[in-house]
Amino acid sequence: MENPNKKLGVLIGGSGLIGGTLAHYFKTKTADEIDIRAPSSKKLSIRNTQDIKNYLRRVRPDFVINAAIAAIDSDAQLAFEVNYLGTVNLCRTCCALNIPYIHMSSAAALPNGENVDEEDNIPLSPTLSNYAKSKLMAERTLRYMGEHKGLDYTVIRLAVVYGEHDHKIQGFHRLFFSIADEAMPFLITKKGIKHSYTNANKVPYFVHHVIENRPEFSKKIYHFVDKDPVELADLILTIRSYLELKRPREIYVPYPIIKTGKYFLSRLAKFLNWFGISVRLPPELMFLENFYQSQTLSSAKLQQSSFIDPFPDETIYTALSKLVIYYLERWGHLNLITTFNEEFFGTNDLEDDFIYHPNELLDSIHHDSTSPFTDIK
């Protein structure tokens, strides 16, 4: 029997790591109490104000979650339209229809330092990256609309996110890929540098709790991070140990040398473009300075809330074994990394037949495996 109190939610940005994890959670863990819709950009473009108004007015959801972001190296127009203006128009619509709004934000809006709390912010400045500037502006407008327009919102700030099922090589997974690909000969950091990490698999549980407990979480900002920060060098060396590699060696490269190397790489990329060779440097290079500066987020406010961590003992270290298997297998299938294929996953007879004996494999399938499925007739 259908639950008469079943809620309807709209998720924007359902194709990313956080959005995809949220969509999977609501469809598998809360199907009896929450129905989630994650419209594609063809149905609802966050850059189109009329799309937003028409969709939310027609669907009338009980809550909206915005996990959409432009690529971190997007130009000013795309970052502004997706990260800021799209957020503002979602909030204006939610405010008009009295819909609670959950916003996924980023530690990019925070200063470096240790035990940074929710009230800390970097100054809004023209020199900020397009990504950081747009995320910071979105947070400020949310606060303004909460104070002056009555918007029911919650901001959830994420740090360095880790988790499975991220189809893009970005953020933490870019670091992991560089180590696995043996593209990091030395440590690109210095001793004692620590960062906070966010477990993507825990985020949906917190979002669900926030939705169910609006009075406690309305018009507030929370850092959703693991309780203990992690030293970057130790994490890199632990990943190296998992993969049984010799590199990167425990030699710390000073930031001025890395900065100089980054400059020459960018010049080389431009030079190669003259010859029709398109070279795109990883967008994470814009955060290279952060490898040499600590940024740890306080989780005290989260710990003092009514939310209970569903996996209190799970950290980036305990999750490494799953991450290693998932991503090495995925990158192996995509021919991005071939070093670990046989060593980690063994050989597959069908794969060997496909590679070396395609005619015999085709005949075998024609003989045994082409009959119509009788169970669906």
pLDDT confidence of residue 300: 95
Same-domain status, 78 and 213: yes
| Spatial distance between the Cα atoms of 96 and 151, rounded to a whole number of angstroms | 9
DSSP-assigned beta bridge partners for residue 158: 106, 224
Q: Is residue 246 part of a domain?
A: no
Which of 317, 307, 292, 287 shows the shortest CA–CA distance to 132?
287
Give per-residue pLDDT as tens, 296-341.
999 999 999 999 999 999 999 998 888 888 777 777 777 777 666 5
Q: Which amino acid is at 376?
A: I
pLDDT confidence of residue 84: 93
Same-domain status, 344 and 320: no
| Spatial distance between the Cα atoms of 110 and 117, rounded to a whole number of angstroms | 9
Q: Is residue 267 part of a domain?
A: no
Q: How confident is the model at residue 283 (pLDDT cuts 50, 70, 90)?
A: low
- What CA–CA distances, in Å, run from 234 to 113, 246, 312, 358? 19, 15, 21, 46
Is 61:37 a contact under the CB 8 Å cutoff? yes
Has this prediction a pTM greater than 0.75?
Answer: yes
The first and second tokens of residue 183, run together, are 């593209």
Is 56:238 a contact under the CB 8 Å cutoff? no
In this predicted structure, the answer to whether residue 163 has a pLDDT above a threshold of 90 is no
Q: How confident is the model at residue 288 (pLDDT cuts 50, 70, 90)?
A: low
pLDDT confidence of residue 295: 92
Same-domain status, 110 and 143: yes
pLDDT confidence of residue 321: 83
Give per-residue pLDDT as tens, 169-211.
667 777 887 888 777 888 888 899 999 999 999 999 999 999 9
Same-domain status, 323 and 301: yes
Q: Is residue 82 part of a domain?
A: yes
Same-domain status, 95 and 227: yes
Domain total in the chain: 2
pLDDT confidence of residue 277: 63
Same-domain status, 210 and 326: yes
User: What average pLDDT score do residues 360-367 get?
Assistant: 80
Give per-residue pLDDT as tens, 334-349.
777 766 655 555 556 6
pLDDT confidence of residue 188: 82
| Residue 355, CA atoms < 13 Å, CB-side half-sphere | 6
pLDDT confidence of residue 371: 77
| Spatial distance between the Cα atoms of 153 and 150, rounded to a whole number of angstroms | 9
Same-domain status, 155 and 207: yes
Q: Are strands 197-199 and 249-252 parallel, antiparallel or unpaired?
A: unpaired
Same-domain status, 78 and 131: yes
Backbone angles phi, psi at 327, to 5 degrees: -80, -35
Backbone angles phi, psi at 368, to 5 degrees: -115, -20
Is 187:307 a contact under the CB 8 Å cutoff? no
Q: Is residue 24 part of a domain?
A: yes
Q: Is residue 282 part of a domain?
A: no
Any idea what the CATH number is for the domain that residue 111 is in?
A: 3.40.50.720
Mean residue pLDDT across the chain = 84
Is 165:15 a contact under the CB 8 Å cutoff? no
pLDDT confidence of residue 196: 94
Q: Is residue 320 part of a domain?
A: yes
Q: What one-character-per-residue DSSP string does 148-200 give? A: HT---EEEEEE-EEE-S---S--THHHHHHHHHTT---EESS-TT-EE-EEET
In this predicted structure, the answer to whether residue 166 has a pLDDT above a threshold of 70 is no
In this predicted structure, the answer to whether residue 33 has a pLDDT above a threshold of 90 is no
Between residues 359 and 226, the one the model is more confident about = 226
pLDDT confidence of residue 364: 82
Backbone angles phi, psi at 218, to 5 degrees: -70, 135
Q: Is residue 85 part of a domain?
A: yes
| Spatial distance between the Cα atoms of 25 and 29, rounded to a whole number of angstroms | 5
Same-domain status, 47 and 22: yes
Report helix, strand or coil for 311.
coil
Between residues 375 and 50, the one the model is more confident about = 50
Same-domain status, 315 and 168: yes
Q: Is residue 223 part of a domain?
A: yes
Look up the domain containing 367 and give its range.
340-372
Q: Is 10 exposed, middle or buried (0-12, 13-18, 19+ CB in 10 A)?
A: buried
| Spatial distance between the Cα atoms of 301 and 114, rounded to a whole number of angstroms | 15
pLDDT confidence of residue 66: 95
Q: Minimum mean pLDDT among 138-142, 257-261, 311-315: which range? A: 257-261
Same-domain status, 24 and 159: yes
DSSP 8-state symbol, 376: G
Catalogue the E-assigned strands of the chain. Answer: 7-12, 34-37, 63-66, 101-106, 113-116, 153-158, 160-162, 186-187, 194-195, 197-199, 220-224, 230-231, 249-252, 295-297
In this predicted structure, the answer to whether residue 284 has a pLDDT above a threshold of 60 is no
Is 93:56 a contact under the CB 8 Å cutoff? yes
Same-domain status, 91 and 156: yes
